[in-house]
């Protein structure tokens, strides 16, 4: 029996038959994440329900020398959960218990498959919430958020996942279970919790998370302002921050992104405006009211053509639904798309956007923009049609946009991670010594290179022959063989 056959028997004994997927058709459910242009079918998928089962599954894979990839909800946009063909996927979605809400210490202890939004829902009766809010929050898991150090619209004021995770139980790549961090923010010794956050599943599997909860603000005020140009919306963002105001969120959408979002959810954005800016302020009532007036004035000074102020919670929610639906809604105006995730210094936003526009025109590819403007975190949506043979051109443009952000003094990723997508661009941002140091850290946890190999750091194999979009085999095209 092959190593994989032996491992499968061992895992079935451990998890029961319904905890192991080996049927070729069912395995295809796991062949990609949100970066659907890249697909690899894994050999096995296991669905543990406890930390012990995760540890035993990892230990068994480690003994067999078989690579393993953790998966939460598979909403990642950089191919972080892309399987390894000869490896297993460890799906953590069955581990979705909220183990404890501690309102006095403002903490929650949750399993890794709990969705981001479920934490806030569970904390709501205590007037508390979990601050990082990816637009995918209804489905993405806290385990995936930790692995990606995920952000969201409100991270401008409140910080990213790393600022809200106190401790976690992890399974190391040899199957050892341990805790990193502690119940209070200050822990002696090196911050190994920080090493795992943002490591994209390459150093450990997260099996429990202790998150910080925040008190809901006394007041929240939201406006949606239209602008005659994206540059004017961008200048407004710079002026708001320049005035010493730190809004909870500042988001920009361009006309294409608005068109897609309106087609999907009809939140009432103006269809023919070149740019819309959402600004949300929160805090004590008086402070919030004062600063809100100041923001309105700054919008007017920058030539806003229309300001809509959310009259109540329902309207506020509607404005956010429009913004948060934008990525997924792009499917309405384009059959395929890449979501890019670069960061530029805020002062270079206008320059970045106009260069991206020019690059898109030169490539004959439409680019929609929706972004966390306050952070300088761009999300150009590169729209293409696989059927029309545009995949290669769109992929090239997407890569060039990410590398442009580095050239402008920014970063390859603001929150979606490097994954498979941008591993080969890492040398544009880091020196060989930097990359070797990162590799040493990773190898300290995973000397055998079994834990999500080929992600985050460039490897000659990965950069030479990237796992690409599925292309039919000539025999399949000739009707001799079928794809299961």
Q: Is 135 in the site for ligand FAD (CB under 6 A)?
A: yes
**Which of 134-142, 184-192, 235-243, 273-281 is the region at the interface with ligand FAD (rule: CB under 6 A)?**
134-142
**CA of 82: how far to CAs of 89, 336, 375, 435, in Å?**
9, 18, 28, 22
Binding flags for ligand FAD, 419-458, as an x/- string (CB under 6 A): ---------------------------------x------
Q: Is 83 in the site for ligand FAD (CB under 6 A)?
A: no
Q: Is 112 in the site for ligand FAD (CB under 6 A)?
A: yes
Task: Name the phi and psi angles at 212, rounded to 5.
Answer: -85, 140
Q: Would you say the C-alpha torsion 114, 116, 117, 123 has a positive or negative sign? A: positive
State the Cα angle at 319 between 229 and 380, rounded to 5°.
50
Residue with smaller CB distance to ligand FAD, 222 or 452: 452
Interaction residues for ligand FAD, span 89-108 (CB under 6 A): 92
- Return the residue of 74, 173, 181, 454 that touches ligand FAD, per CB under 6 A: 74
Residues 6+ apart with CB under 8 A from 313: none
Task: Name the phi and psi angles at 81, rounded to 5.
Answer: -100, 15
Q: Is 375 in the site for ligand FAD (CB under 6 A)?
A: no
Q: Is 328 in the site for ligand FAD (CB under 6 A)?
A: yes
Q: Is 57 in the site for ligand FAD (CB under 6 A)?
A: no
Name the minimum Å distance from CB 166 to ligand FAD: 16
- Return the residue of 22, 41, 51, 141 that touches ligand FAD, per CB under 6 A: 141
Q: Is 415 in the site for ligand FAD (CB under 6 A)?
A: yes
Q: Is 257 in the site for ligand FAD (CB under 6 A)?
A: no
Contacts 24+ apart (CB under 8 A), 458-463: 458/423, 458/424, 458/426, 458/427, 459/423, 462/420, 462/423, 462/424, 463/423, 463/424
What DSSP line would sit under 327-367, residue for residue?
HHHGGGT-SEEEE---B--GGGHHHHHHHHHHHHHHHT--E
Contact 455, 79 (CB under 8 A): yes
Q: Is 71 in the site for ligand FAD (CB under 6 A)?
A: yes
- Return the residue of 32, 35, 77, 277 that touches ligand FAD, per CB under 6 A: 77
Residue count, binding to ligand FAD (CB under 6 A): 37
Contact 44, 22 (CB under 8 A): yes
Name the minimum Å distance from CB 392 to ligand FAD: 23
Cα–Cα distance for residue pair 164/151, rounded to 1 Å: 11
Cα–Cα distance for residue pair 108/370, rounded to 1 Å: 32
Q: Which residues are near ligand FAD by CB under 6 A? A: 33-34, 69-77, 80-81, 92, 112, 134-136, 140-141, 143-145, 147-148, 150-152, 200-201, 205-206, 327-328, 415-416, 452
């Amino acid at each position: 029996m092959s190593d994989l056959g032996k491992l499968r028997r061992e895992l079935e004994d451990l998890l029961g038959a319904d905890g192991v997927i080996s049927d070729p058709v069912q395995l295809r459910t796991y062949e990609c994440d949100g970066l659907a242009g890249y697909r690899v079918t894994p050999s096995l998928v296991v669905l543990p329900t406890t930390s012990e089962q995760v540890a035993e599954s990892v230990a068994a894979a480690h003994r067999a020398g078989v690579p393993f990839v953790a998966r939460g909800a598979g909403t990642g946009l950089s191919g972080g959960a892309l399987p390894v063909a000869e490896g297993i996927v460890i799906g953590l979605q069955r581990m979705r218990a909220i183990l404890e809400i501690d309102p006095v210490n403002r903490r929650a202890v949750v399993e890794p498959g709990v969705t981001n939004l479920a934490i806030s829902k569970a904390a709501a009766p205590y007037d508390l919430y979990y601050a990082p809010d990816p637009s995918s929050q209804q489905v993405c898991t806290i385990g995936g958020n930790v692995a990606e150090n995920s952000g969201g619209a409100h991270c401008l004021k409140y910080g990213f996942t790393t600022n809200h995770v106190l401790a976690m139980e992890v399974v190391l790549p040899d199957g050892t279970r341990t805790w990193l961090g502690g119940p209070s923010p200050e822990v002696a010794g090196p911050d190994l919790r920080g090493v795992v956050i943002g490591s994209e599943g390459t150093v450990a599997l997260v099996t429990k998370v202790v998150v910080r909860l925040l008190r809901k603000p006394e007041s929240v005020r939201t406006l949606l302002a239209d602008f005659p140009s994206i540059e004017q919306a961008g200048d407004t963002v710079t002026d708001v921050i320049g005035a010493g105001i730190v809004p909870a969120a500042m988001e920009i959408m361009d006309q294409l992104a608005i068109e897609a979002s309106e087609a999907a959810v009809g939140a009432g954005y103006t269809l023919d405006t070149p740019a819309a800016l959402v600004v949300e302020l929160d805090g004590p009532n008086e402070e919030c009211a004062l600063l809100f007036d100041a923001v309105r004035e700054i919008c007017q000074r920058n030539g806003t053509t229309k300001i809509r102020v959310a009259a109540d919670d329902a309207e506020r929610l509607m404005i956010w639904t429009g913004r948060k639906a934008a990525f997924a809604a792009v499917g309405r105006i384009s059959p395929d798309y890449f979501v890019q995730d670069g960061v530029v210094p805020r002062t270079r936003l206008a320059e970045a956007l106009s260069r991206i526009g020019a690059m898109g025109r030169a490539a004959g590819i439409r680019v929609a923009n929706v972004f966390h403007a306050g952070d300088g975190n761009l999300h150009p949506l590169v729209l293409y049609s696989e059927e029309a043979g545009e995949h290669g051109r769109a992929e090239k443009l997407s890569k060039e946009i990410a590398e442009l952000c580095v050239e402008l003094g920014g970063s390859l990723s603001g929150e979606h991670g490097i994954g498979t997508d941008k591993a080969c661009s890492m040398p544009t941002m880091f020196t060989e010594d930097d990359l070797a140091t990162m590799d040493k850290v990773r190898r300290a946890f995973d000397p055998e290179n079994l834990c999500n190999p080929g992600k985050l750091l460039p490897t000659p194999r990965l950069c030479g022959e990237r796992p690409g979009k599925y292309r039919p085999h000539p025999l399949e095209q000739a009707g001799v063989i079928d794809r299961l």
